[in-house]
Amino acid sequence: MKVVKFGGSSLASGKQIEKVFNIVTADPERKVVVVSAPGKRFSEDHKVTDLLIACAEKQLQGEDAGELAGAVLERYGQIADELGLAPDIKDIIKQDLFERLDCDKSNPEVFMDLVKASGEDNNAKLVAAYFQQQGVEARYVNPKEAGLLVSPEPGNAQVLSEAYENLYRLREQDGILIFPGFFGYSRDGEVFTFSRSGSDVTGSILANATKADLYENFTDVDAVYAVNPFLVERPKEIKELTYREMRELSYAGFTVLHDEALVPAFRAGIPVQIKNTNNPAAPGTRIVNERDNTNGPVIGIASDQGFCSIYVGKYLMNREVGFGRKLLTIFEEYGLSYEHTPSGIDDISIILREDQFKDGMEKEILSRIETELHADEVKVQHSLSLIMVVGEGMRQNIGTMARASKALAKAKVNMEMINQGSSEVSMMFGVNAVDEKRAVQALYDEFFAAVAAV
């Protein structure tokens, strides 16, 4: 049995949903289908989820959201018309949306989750209606009735352990099950969403719960590439990689798969296959527990912008008991999370996403570090990019760091920071954002272009 998830671009129009139908019905093992909300049809288009967020914000501000709600309903209406569906499905979606918009707004975050979740929920109803129209035994599954229980954390819900036992019963149901992604229900019956792109998480949860043999994740690319194709021309496709490698690459900027999505599948040991809705014959990329390291030390290179580094220097820092705890407590009190903390005996750097800083917060933090920790030097460096070089093969390969450093030096890219993960599956370089593309190209040429030439 297979669980299949389709992303927003795969469901953006009637034509795309016809492709989804053909893919699902071509393989009788595809029993559970997880759907996202309709995505963009073209670059200037709006995702339905973005429209819903704007709609909820208007409502919370006490303003009229009629125009935005109309835009949402128009998207569903166009898809329904393209598929030749009966008008009643449009009425069902319209009633559902306006009922949500009229709900209690005393807790804005809970209200936002309720409205956001309608994107996936109503799209699942529409997709199920099309399958039924085509004469296939299929039905929409309500996550509440199925027992997808989650923690009451708006925008960051976590699946509860009892949900797996509840969802296992889906195996006993006949026909194809169309399941909305992105959200679940608390024990009190309220809607809470996973983090953005959480339909990947739903698919992984259902694969685990139903003990599927494979979790197929359909998107709009043929495979996971060794590097961002917007940074490097015609990069190499990755045929197979491990959960750990994919997790590292997703964290560092790969957007093919949500970086939390693999956890339930990983725990159950279920392989994940990334495939292309627009080219289903392409083999795609397989994500597994273990693989043969026959491709060299590096499997992929990822990068992401928007980081800053706060450097703290103090003589004899290593002798001062509790210094690190006191430093991180300051960040905690401002609600800031950090990414990395490379350190020496007399200095430490805190790497974090700079968009976390609110007005005046950065200046306050620097002042507190100076006065409360009596630091000799405190400075901040903005506009950093983090580049992650990932590969299970690095653990058995000597000189990978030296090759990477040499490649960056040859490209005249200054390394602001170096950090190697304790698992030895990844190493990270901090560079100025303006040097990101040049740095990624240099690393790709070092670890992939030379191999391809041979």
For residues 340 and 324, the answer to whether their CB atoms sit within 8 Å is: no
Gyration radius from the chain CA atoms: 24
Q: List strand residue ranges (DSSP E) for 375-447, in order.
A: 377-390, 417-420, 426-432
Residue 294: its pLDDT value, please?
66
Name the segment(s) of the chain with CATH classification 3.40.1160.10: 2-288
For residues 405 and 259, the answer to whether their CB atoms sit within 8 Å is: no
Counting as low any pLDDT under 50, the low residues of the chain are 453-454
Find out whether 5 is annotated in a ligand binding site: yes
Query: CA 92 to CA 14: how far, in whole Å?
Result: 18
For residues 86 and 3, the answer to whether their CB atoms sit within 8 Å is: no
Rounded to 5°, angle at Cα 140 from 134 and 141: 150
Query: CA 175 to CA 297: how far, in whole Å?
Result: 45
Residue with tokens 């949860």: 205
The contacts found for 95-104 with CB under 8 angstroms, 24 or more apart, are 96/121, 96/122, 97/69, 97/72, 97/73, 97/122, 98/69, 101/55, 101/56, 101/59, 101/65, 101/69
CA dist list (Å): 180 to 31, 146, 148, 176, 444:
14, 11, 11, 13, 38
Residue 423: its pLDDT value, please?
64
Give the model confidence (pLDDT) of 318-374 as tens digits.
Answer: 999 999 999 999 999 999 999 888 888 999 999 999 999 988 899 999 999 999 999
Give the model confidence (pLDDT) of 62-121 as tens digits.
Answer: 999 999 999 999 999 999 999 999 999 999 999 999 999 999 999 999 999 999 999 999
Query: CA 433 to CA 451: how far, in whole Å?
Result: 28
Q: Which secondary structure element, helix H or strand E, spans residue 421, and what is its range?
A: none
Find out whether 25 is annotated in a ligand binding site: no
Find out whether 391 is annotated in a ligand binding site: no
Query: CA 211 to CA 264: how far, in whole Å?
Result: 11
Query: CA 89 to CA 77: how far, in whole Å?
Result: 9
Find out whether 219 is annotated in a ligand binding site: yes
Residue 454: its pLDDT value, please?
41
Name the segment(s) of the chain with CATH classification 3.30.2130.10: 300-453
Find out whether 357 is annotated in a ligand binding site: no
pTM: 0.85
User: Token digits for 75?
Assistant: 């998207």
Which fold would CATH assign to domain 2-288?
Carbamate kinase (3.40.1160)
Find out whether 7 is annotated in a ligand binding site: yes
Find out whether 120 is annotated in a ligand binding site: yes
**Residue type present at position 356:** Q
CATH 3.30.2130.10 is the classification of domain 300-453: yes
Find out whether 14 is annotated in a ligand binding site: no
- Give SS3 for 1: coil
Find out whether 49 is annotated in a ligand binding site: yes
For residues 177 and 124, the answer to whether their CB atoms sit within 8 Å is: no
CA dist list (Å): 303 to 163, 223, 252, 300:
35, 18, 5, 10
